[in-house]
Structure 1
Amino acid sequence: MDSFPKALGWGSRFLPKWASYKQGFGSHMDEFWLGNDNIHKNTSSGIWELRVDIWDFDNNLYFAKYSSFQILDEAEQYRLILGKFEGGSAGDSLSYHHYSKFSTYDQDNDVSSMNCALQYKGAWWHIIAFFQTPK
């Protein structure tokens, strides 16, 4: 089972550009982003389940599971394709982002009049406003 973690904990100290999210960054021994090109390559064939694990500040683990997961290529702005929410203690906070495009502060692909990635200091599959962005 492969995992595709999002870089967490860097907050406003570190705001990567589109090119960094495209190629990947960070340390595999710590926090890292695998790279949207790599995630696309891995999810472009077959059926991939997605499980999202989230720890709160008290180190409690919550999760959400989806029946399938795919990231389209850069020409599609790494559009997020999600299957059915299958349950989990974290609830369904990602279905809202289904079919949205990936945005960074230097490449705004959301449909909002503001740059959500810049406003909320995090690249994500933003749509129009903050809904769920792991930081």
Structure 2
Amino acid sequence: MTESTEQGKHEAALRQMRAEMAQAGKQEVLEIFSELLDRLWERINSLIGETACVAVFRSALLEASRDHALLQDIEIASSGINLDGLNATLDALDRAAVRTGLLAFTDNVMALLIDLTGEILLGKVEPLVQQFKQKLDKS
């Protein structure tokens, strides 16, 4: 085998490894946000009720979707947040775009809570969000 053939195989293996790592990174980001959004949903739902909770999350999603089209694959129903549509398109998405879009969505939820209740509800959910942002920074 020639040196250039060996190098070509090595480069192909590196590209494959990078692609697999990028995919794993995107999946990990999605899993972290899935857990965060589920816990936020539970906490906010218990504080303000199902109808208001759905309205907050739908409004936050609509706002964030204007700048982050990938969020349009997220569904919100009275039972919670469904990320299956986003998960199905994950292969075609950039890890940074997934992270940025989901952060924007989460930040919009927090902003709406502040708009609606001042700092009252923020104190009850912000520690949860900060915990998950730290987890995200480590991933």
When the two structures are superposed, what TM-score results if normalisation uses the length of structure 2?
0.26
Q: Of the two structures, which has the highest relative contact order with CA contacts closer than 8 Å and spacing of 6 or more?
A: 2
Q: In proportion to residue count, which structure has more helix?
A: 2
When the two structures are superposed, what TM-score results if normalisation uses the length of structure 1?
0.27
Q: In proportion to residue count, which structure has more strand?
A: 1
